[in-house]
Amino acid sequence: MPHLIAPSLLSANFLNLGDDIEMINRSDADWIHLDIMDGVFVPNLSFGFPVIEQIAKKARKPLDVHLMIIDPDRYISRFRDYGAALITVHYETCHHLHRTTEAIKKSGAKAGVALNPHTPVSMLTDIAQDVDLILIMSVNPGFGGQKFIFQSYEKIMKLKELRDQKACGFLIEVDGGVDLLNGHKLIETGADVLVAGNAIFRSPNPAETIHQMKILG
């Protein structure tokens, strides 16, 4: 399967957010990535529901919603109501991860689980067959523009091995410091979905950068 590109709106120009969404709509991007932060699990705040509602009205690509929040179960149905096609929660915030991912799937969205850089892939052995996506954080979550953590390549390889061993169908997504320089190696290592923020929105031609990322590999 060709790899997917999910531009992260966290790095977009919030004064011209509608224009940036339209650019993504017209581009070769596959999904629109939304980082939802609560200022508790991560030291930052991002999109609230009024903004998400407007994004959903404008977006013509599936919304890939990444919940960097505590107690995500409280909000699953609401994010789905606002059009989330994929909802990813953090392993580190879920007391009953299987119950949470089942609730996501019951809502009609695809279910994902994210791992912080310090969390080993082995923590997902017992749930790998029950999710649609696993997100490897290749930076510490909370801020855009951070430097890629090179140990992430090894985690992707271990995750790919786990997928093969379990005969699972989940996609491997990578978020953090992803750009045109490391994108090829990420795909070669086993990544299926590349999330990119600054690499796209700080480039002179974001749509062309998305295209270049799409044809990597």
pLDDT digits (tens, 9 = 90+) for 117-139: 999 999 999 999 999 999 999 99
> Of 40-49, 52-61, 131-140, which range is least confident?
40-49
Of the two residues 69 and 141, the one the predictor is more confident about is 69
Q: Reduced to 3 states, what is the DSSP secondary structure of residue 131? A: coil
Catalytic residue among 30, 132, 175, 179: 175
Examine the pLDDT at 35 and tell me if it is beyond 90. Answer: yes
CB atoms within 10 A of CB 187: 19
**Residue 119: per-residue pLDDT:** 96
Q: Which amino acid is at 130?
A: D
Verify whether residue 35 is a known catalytic residue: yes
Lowest mean pLDDT among 105-119, 144-158, 200-214: 144-158
Mean pLDDT of 148-152: 93
Q: How far apart are CA 31 and CA 38, in angstroms?
A: 22
Select which of 35, 132, 179, 192 is catalytic: 35
Q: What pLDDT sits at residue 146?
A: 73
pTM for this entry? 0.95
Q: Are 33 and 51 in contact (CB under 8 A)?
A: no
Domains and their CATH numbers in the chain: 4-214 (3.20.20.70)
**Across 76-102, average pLDDT:** 96
Position 34 pLDDT exceeds 70: yes
Whether 130 is catalytic is no
